[in-house]
Amino acid sequence: MKKILVLEDEANIRSFVVINLRRSGFEPIEAETGEMALEKLRVNPDICLALLDVMLPDIDGFEVCRRIRATGSKMGIIMLTAKSQEIDKVTGLMTGADDYVTKPFSPAELTARVDALIRRLGIDEDERSSTELVSGPFVLNTRNRTLEKDGQRLKLTQIEYLLMKLFMENPGKAMSREDILTAVWGNDFKGELKTVDVNIRRLRIKIESDPTEPEYLTTVWGYGYKWGY
Ligand code: CA
């Protein structure tokens, strides 16, 4: 998971940002003061992006930004500025920030800016280009391993997640129970083919409107299963 530094002294804004980053599959690292932020950066050299508030109790966000750049770091930096701080945008970009977001901002806006910057900086391009599998009402996010149906999160076990990934990557393809067992449980698994059926049955209860008349995860009689959507 990609680490993002969140420097913000106001606890409610900070937790709002943290919750939304976590929801988008990032690992937020929190800091309340400029000094604390610099310390967190020292112990987490793999932080790829920083969100920096400007008005802080100790050193301001621009100074933190300047100090990060002084170390030669190329990490993404987004300044969080207040509306009245138009001038801050100019100062921020001059001290080496890549972008700014004006408060108050929506979760969607913040995530969009973070995603855009990560794309622009080319951080883990391969991983990002393949983070979502979409099929009908289902969206499988392979970065945070979650499944949504019509925008509603469905709780899956890791095995169920792997089954969904296998099916959604192979739409319309009939897969034998042996193939499924090997793909999901691995070559060394000594279990029975029944294991596949048991888990498919459980998965159907979660994803199908009527598990007895499956619409998506259909049975291929005498063979196995397929993603029928
Ligand atoms: Ca502040």
Q: How far is the CA of 71 from the centre of ligand 1 (A)?
A: 24
- Judged against a pLDDT cut of 80, whether residue 129 lies above it is answered with no
Of 85, 25, 75, whose CA–CA distance to 53 is shortest?
Answer: 85
Q: How far is the CA of 6 from the centre of ligand 1 (A)?
A: 12
Please report, in angstroms and rounded to a whole number, the separation of the first and last CA atoms in the chain. Answer: 31
Contact 51, 10 (CB under 8 A): no
Q: How far is the CA of 119 from the centre of ligand 1 (A)?
A: 27
Q: How far is the CA of 189 from the centre of ligand 1 (A)?
A: 53
The helix (run of H) or strand (run of E) holding residue 107 is helix 107-121
Q: How far is the CA of 75 from the centre of ligand 1 (A)?
A: 22
Burial class (CB in 10 A: 0-12, 13-18, 19+), 12: exposed
Of 133, 117, 108, 120, whose CA–CA distance to 51 is shortest?
Answer: 117
Q: How far is the CA of 96 from the centre of ligand 1 (A)?
A: 19
Tell me how long the chain is: 229
Q: What token pair was written down for 172?
A: 């319309």
Beta-ladder partners of 71? none
pLDDT band at 191 (very low <50, low <70, confident <90, very high): confident
Peptide bond preceding 57 in cis form (omega within 30 of 0): no
Q: Does pTM top 0.75 for this prediction? A: no
Of 112, 163, 110, whose CA–CA distance to 138 is shortest?
Answer: 163
The helix (run of H) or strand (run of E) holding residue 139 is strand 138-141
Rounded-to-integer distance, Cα 141 and Cα 119, Å: 17
Going by DSSP bridges, is the β-strand pair 146-149/138-141 parallel, antiparallel, or unpaired?
A: antiparallel
Q: Where are the domains of the chain?
A: 3-120, 132-227
Express each pLDDT in 145-186 by its tens digit: 899 999 999 999 989 999 999 999 999 999 999 999 999 988
Q: How far is the CA of 57 from the centre of ligand 1 (A)?
A: 8
Query: Structurally, what CATH architecture does the domain formed by 132-227 represent?
Result: Orthogonal Bundle (1.10)
Contact 149, 195 (CB under 8 A): no
Express each pLDDT in 53-64 by its tens digit: 999 999 999 999
Rounded-to-integer distance, Cα 65 and Cα 5, Å: 12
Express each pLDDT in 57-115 by its tens digit: 999 999 999 999 998 888 999 999 886 666 666 676 777 898 888 888 998 899 999 99
DSSP state of 9: S
CATH of the domain spanning 3-120: 3.40.50.2300
